[in-house]
Amino acid sequence: MAVAARHHRLSARLATGLLLAVASLLGPLVARRASAAAPFLPWQRCRNSGSYAANSTYQSNLSKLSAAVRTNASRDLFVSGSTGTAPDAVYALALCRGDANGSACGSCVDKAFQDARELCPSDMDAAVFEELCHIRYSDLNFLATMDNGEPINVMSPLNVTSPVAAFDAAVNILLNAVSDYAAANSSARFATAEERFDGSNPSIYGLAQCTPDMLPADCRSCLASLISMLPQAQPGRQGGRLSGLRCGIRYEVYHFFYGTTTLQLPAPNIAPTTPPVADVPAATSGGRTKNNTRIILAINLPIVAAVLLINIVILYLCWKRPARGHAPSNIAYPEDAESIDSLLFHISTLRAATDDFAECNRLGEGGFGAVYKGVLLDGQEIAVKRLSQSSEQGIQELKNELILVAKLQHKNLVRLVGVCLQEHEKLLVYEYMPNRSIDTILFDPEKRKDLDWERRFKLINGIARGLQYLHEDSQLKVIHRDLKASNVLLDSDYTPKISDFGLARLFGRDQSREVTNRVVGTYGYMAPEYAMRGHYSMKSDVFSFGVLILEILSGRSSSTSFSSEQSVSVDLLSLVWQHWTTGTVMEIMDSSVRANAPGDQLLKCVHIGLLCVQSNPDDRPMMSTVNVMLSSSIVSLRAPLKPVLFIQQSGDYSTMESESHRTASQSTGNNKSGAMSLNEVTITELEPR
C-alpha cells in the first residue's frame, strides 16, 4: 500500500510539474487558473532534533497517539494531546480546515501521519501540511505555547492580468476582513469571504483560520503577522497561502473552499493605477522582429506539443488504472459510506462499557428506549441510547440520520460517537453530558439556582450559534423541527449542545419552505404556521428558539399554564406579552437572574425572544441576525407585535388533532412518568412527506 501510494503521489507530482512547465512556456497564450496548493502537496517541516529507533517506546507512543488523534479529529476537526513520559513522551496537534466534514478530516489526518513517516523518517519532530489539514508531533511540548512556527509560504505561479497594485490592495482588504470575522465572530475561529473586483478577476476568495483554543485577540494577532508577510512574497499572484501551526490565510481568484461564503464584500474603493508600458522593440528593416518571433515559435511549439502529449498519456494511464485493491467507485456520495463505517461499534464493546446494560447504569428512558451510561476502554464516558425492540424505526432511516449527524460538526451540537446494529440491537452512542438537559435544571426550583445570569446568557448564545450553523453555516441546510429545553444538553462547563435530529429535515440551498401532511413535534414550541398548516422552515426553528429564550429567562415552562392579572389561565407567551406591554416584565423573570443580571441586557434578551415568536414568519429574524443582536450593544431593535396565542384546554394544547398530539408526546418521552432521561437524545420515526 505504501509503495502504491508513493507511486500515485509521484505520478501526480510529475503530471502537475509537466502542466506547470506547459503553462510557463505558453505564458499569456494559456488562460489557466492554478491552485497554489497543487504543485507541492504535501509540505513538510522535518526538524532534525533527534531520531527514534524502530520498535522503540517513542515509536509505540507515536503510533498510539496518531490513531487517537485521527479518531478525535474526525469528530472535532481540531485535536491536541500527548502520551507517554519523558524522554519518550509524544505531543501532537491536528487541525482540519473549517469547511471539511468529519470523514474528510479523519482521512486527511491519517494521510498526514503516513506522509510524515515517509518524508521525515525516524524524526522525532515533524510537521506536514496537506490540502485540508496539517499535523505536527514532537518530543518537545510545543502545545504549551501558541507559537505559530515557521509558516509554509506558497504562491500561485500565475500572475494576475489586473493592475498589480490594485489587486494586492484588494487582497489585503479581503484578508483583513475575513481575519477579523474568524477571530471575533466564530467559535471555530474559521471564516471565508468573497470580494468583488474587476472584469478580469470578478471575485477574489479568501480564508482565515486559527486553532479553536486561541483567544480572539491571539488569533487576530497571529493572522495579522501572516498578512504582513504577503508584501514580501511575489506580488500580483493569482493565489497564495501562508500556513502555520496555529493559524493560516489563503486567497485565490476562484472558489476553493466548500459551501457558501461567510462574508460578502463589495468591490474596494481603490484608486486605479496606470499599468506600466512595456518596452516594444522597434520595427527594423528586413523584418528581423518578425523573423525572431517565427524562430521562437518554431522552437517552442514542438516542445509544448511534446510535453502536452506526454502529460495526456500519463494522466490517461493514471485515470484508467485504479490503485491496486480498490475498485472504481460509482457511488454518488462515497463519503456517506465512510462516515457510517467510521462510526460502527461492536456490540461486545458497548456491553463491556455499560456492564451489559446494567440497571445501575440506566440514566433514564425516552420515547424510543432507555439510555445507559458507559465508559470505553480509553476512559471516554458515553451515553448509549438503546432503541426498544418494538421501535418501528428502520435500519435505512437510522443510517440516513447517522449520515446527517456525522456531517454536522459544531461545539454547540451534541456529538455522535457511534452506532451499533448487531444482534437485533439498534444502539446510538453519544458523548456523555454530565449536566443533563436544560429542562432538568431550569424547571427544578432548587437546581435552577445554579443557573445564574452568566450561565443563562451563555445558554442563549450557544443555542443561537448552533442554530445559525444548522441554518446558514454548515455544508448542509438543516431544519431541526423539535428544538426544546429537553433537546439541549449541557456539558461539564454548561456549554449547550443541541441534540435529537430525528425530526430534522434537509433543505436545498435555495429552498426556503416545505409542507408536510403529518405534523410532529412538541407543543408549546411549535410555530403557528407549522402547527396549523404543516408549513416549516428556518423561521419555525426561530420561533422555537424564541420560546426557549423566554423559558431560560423566566424559569417557566411553555407547557404550563399561568394565572394572569385577570385570573385567566394563559400560556407563557401571553404572560410575557402582558407584562411587556405594562412595563413589568422584570417581575416574571426568574429570581436567580433578577438580582445580578444587567437590566438592559436582560430586557434586550426578552425583546429578542418576542421578535422570534412573531406570528408572521417574515417578521422573525434570521439566526445570524439574532447573533448580531446578542453580541452588539448598538443595534436598535424594532418593536415586537403581539405574539400568537395558543388555546389551552385541561393542560393540553388543542390546536391539532389527537393523533398528532400523541406523536408529539411520543417524540419527547413525556408520556412517561415525567422524569426526563439524563441524555434525552431521542430518535423519532421518519416517514415520507
Could you tell me which residue, 666 or 8, shows the higher pLDDT? 8
Are the CB atoms for 497 and 491 separated by under 8 Å? Answer: yes
Burial of 598 (0-12, 13-18, 19+ CB in 10 A): exposed
Per cent of the chain over pLDDT 90 is: 37
Q: What is the mean pLDDT of the chain?
A: 76
Residues with catalytic roles: 482
Are the CB atoms for 139 and 125 separated by under 8 Å? Answer: yes
Q: How far apart are CA 549 and CA 657, in angstroms?
A: 27
At residue 568, the pLDDT reads 60
| DSSP run (H or E) holding 352 | helix 347-353
At residue 229, the pLDDT reads 87
Identify the top-confidence range among 43-52, 241-250, 296-305, 656-665: 241-250
At residue 130, the pLDDT reads 92
At residue 500, the pLDDT reads 80
Q: How far apart are CA 233 and CA 250, in angstroms?
A: 13
Worst-scoring range by mean pLDDT, 310-314, 320-324, 412-416?
Answer: 320-324
Q: Is the pLDDT of residue 429 over 60?
A: yes
Q: pLDDT category, 472, cuts 50, 70, 90?
A: confident
Q: Per DSSP, which regions of 144-297 are E strands?
A: 152-155, 190-196, 203-210, 240-243, 247-252, 263-265
At residue 59, the pLDDT reads 92
Q: Is the pLDDT of residue 139 over 50?
A: yes
Q: Is the pLDDT of residue 167 over 70?
A: yes
Candidates 442, 426, 412; CA nearest to 212 is: 412
Q: How far apart are CA 549 and CA 555, in angstroms?
A: 10
Mean pLDDT calculated for residue range 93-117? 91
Worst-scoring range by mean pLDDT, 229-243, 403-417, 675-689?
Answer: 675-689
At residue 520, the pLDDT reads 63
CA of 595: how far to CAs of 446, 599, 633, in Å?
A: 16, 9, 21
Q: Is the pLDDT of residue 476 over 80?
A: no
At residue 263, the pLDDT reads 87
At residue 290, the pLDDT reads 45
pTM > 0.85: yes or no? no
Torsion over CA: 373, 374, 379, 381 (sign): negative
At residue 584, the pLDDT reads 93
Vertex 234: Cα angle to 232 and 236 (nearest 5): 120
Question: Is residue 385 a known part of a binding site?
Answer: yes
Residues 455, 460, 463, 465: what is their CA dihedral angle, to the nearest 10 degrees?
A: -110
User: Which DSSP letter does residue 481 get?
Assistant: S
Mean pLDDT calculated for residue range 297-324? 43
Could you tell me which residue, 408 or 163, shows the higher pLDDT? 163
pLDDT per residue over 555-599, tens digit each?
A: 999 887 766 655 566 889 999 999 999 999 999 999 888 878 888
CA of 335: how far to CAs of 259, 329, 483, in Å?
A: 16, 11, 28
Q: Is the pLDDT of residue 622 over 60?
A: yes
Burial of 218 (0-12, 13-18, 19+ CB in 10 A): middle
Q: How far apart are CA 601 and CA 586, in angstroms?
A: 12
**The three cell numbers locating residue 210:** 486559527
Q: Is the pLDDT of residue 246 over 70?
A: yes
- Residue 231 preceded by cis peptide, ω within 30: no
Counts for the chain of helices (H) and strands (E), in that order: 18, 26
User: 3-state SS string over 550-618?
Assistant: HHHHHCCCCCCCEECCCCCEECHHHHHHHHHHHCCHHHHCCHHHHCCCCHHHHHHHHHHHHHHCCCCHH
Task: Locate all alpha helices (DSSP H) within 507-563, ordered by sequence.
Answer: 528-533, 538-554
Q: How far apart are CA 169 and CA 602, in angstroms?
A: 43
At residue 261, the pLDDT reads 86
Q: pLDDT category, 91, cuts 50, 70, 90?
A: very high
At residue 603, the pLDDT reads 93
Mean pLDDT calculated for residue range 398-419? 76
The owner of cell 489526518 is 109
At residue 645, the pLDDT reads 55
Could you tell me which residue, 233 or 501, shows the higher pLDDT? 501
pLDDT per residue over 24-69, tens digit each?
A: 333 333 323 333 334 457 888 887 778 899 989 999 999 999 999 9
Q: How far apart are CA 192 and CA 364, in angstroms?
A: 42
Q: What is the gyration radius of the CA atoms in the chain, in angstroms?
A: 29
Q: pLDDT category, 509, cuts 50, 70, 90?
A: low
Vertex 182: Cα angle to 176 and 185 (nearest 5): 115
Mean pLDDT calculated for residue range 470-494? 88
Worst-scoring range by mean pLDDT, 1-5, 258-262, 412-416, 461-465?
Answer: 1-5
Q: pLDDT category, 390, cuts 50, 70, 90?
A: low
At residue 425, the pLDDT reads 84
At residue 136, the pLDDT reads 95
Q: How far apart are CA 211 and CA 101, in angstroms?
A: 16
pLDDT per residue over 640-680, tens digit each?
A: 999 875 444 433 333 333 233 333 333 333 333 333 333 33
Q: How far apart are CA 206 and CA 201, in angstroms?
A: 14
At residue 560, the pLDDT reads 78
Q: pLDDT category, 540, cuts 50, 70, 90?
A: very high
Q: pLDDT category, 397, cuts 50, 70, 90?
A: low
At residue 664, the pLDDT reads 35
Q: pLDDT category, 277, cuts 50, 70, 90?
A: very low
Q: Is the pLDDT of residue 620 over 80?
A: yes
Q: Is the pLDDT of residue 307 over 60?
A: no
Are the CB atoms for 519 and 656 separated by under 8 Å? Answer: yes
Q: pLDDT category, 262, cuts 50, 70, 90?
A: confident
Per cent of the chain over pLDDT 70 is: 70
pLDDT per residue over 313-365, tens digit each?
A: 444 433 333 332 333 222 233 344 444 556 778 888 899 999 999 999 998 77
pLDDT per residue over 595-617, tens digit each?
A: 788 888 999 999 999 999 999 99
